[in-house]
Structure 1
């Protein structure tokens, strides 16, 4: 028979300015067993972080370049509410243009756009399994 739905594999905060992209990714993450919170910008993302107490948000997926602040700054602020939260950055810009803009790319998990949904999920799974090993 069909497997019984397991407990969520983790809580993911998805920050995406384009509504149709956010809806598609959110639906896909939920199908993969993740509890998904969605935000359309960094301000909304920080409100979600503040409001969501338990279980802690394990991962934030966001664009490196958001309109109000870059993703790295957003992640830094979001971690004041969820200190163990990992971040997966998405970007249509090349790594060299990020470095040119002064965005440090060391020690960050980065997925270039466009990507396939299964590439997103394998990046998410890898980040979260690494996080489990560290605790």
Structure 2
């Protein structure tokens, strides 16, 4: 059996965090659920390189937003794939620090899981272009490096 991929999930809404954790754990991921950006950064600063496979964060968080969290996380773990999720913003412009962006409620759980699978799979490979999923989403396309 393959080792489970670890996702650091940051969400200040306990109910959303619980649902997201359940969804990911039932698909075989190991989930580190945290409710603040500071808590996530503290964890990442003590974590070994490569021990976290994806940082999934809400855009709107208290004290430090998801963009800032991702910028600081990438200083500690430069190759860490990141996914920003927001229920209030439907444009990737506000989520420029992340590798990918998903609007809450506009994506099915299957689309979220597919995007996570793609980001986790490309973690150790070269940087690839991943199209942002918007409200009027076209099929997800991933350019594969030759």
Q: TM-score interval w.r.t. the shorter chain?
A: 0.7 to 0.9
Q: 1:28 to 1:45 in 2, by over 3 A?
A: same
Larger relative helix fraction: 1
CA distance in 1, matches of 2:126, 2:96: 21
> What residue is the counterpart of 1:127 in the other structure?
119
1:82 aligns with 2:61: no
SS in 2 for 1:84: coil
Q: Mind listing any 5+ residue stretches in structure 2 that lack a counterpart?
A: 128-146
TM-score using structure 1 length: 0.79
How far the C-alpha of 1:125 sits from its partner, in A, is 0.6
TM-score using structure 2 length: 0.74
How far the C-alpha of 1:106 sits from its partner, in A, is 7.7
CA distance in 2, matches of 1:112, 1:57: 23
Contact preservation (8 Å) 1:57, 1:82: no
Residues 95-132 of structure 1 show CA distances to partners (whole Å, capped at 9, x for unaligned) of 35x74xxx353874110111322221111011122334
Alignment of 1:1-135 (within 5 A): 5-8=1-4, 10-53=5-48, 55-96=50-91, 99=93, 103=94, 105=96, 108-114=99-105, 115-134=107-126
Residues 3-30 of structure 1 show CA distances to partners (whole Å, capped at 9, x for unaligned) of xx5311x211000101111111112212
Q: 1:31 to 1:107 in 2, by over 3 A?
A: closer
Q: 1:81 to 1:104 in 2, by over 3 A?
A: closer
Report the count of equivalent residues: 126
Q: Root-mean-square deviation (CA), in Å?
A: 2.3
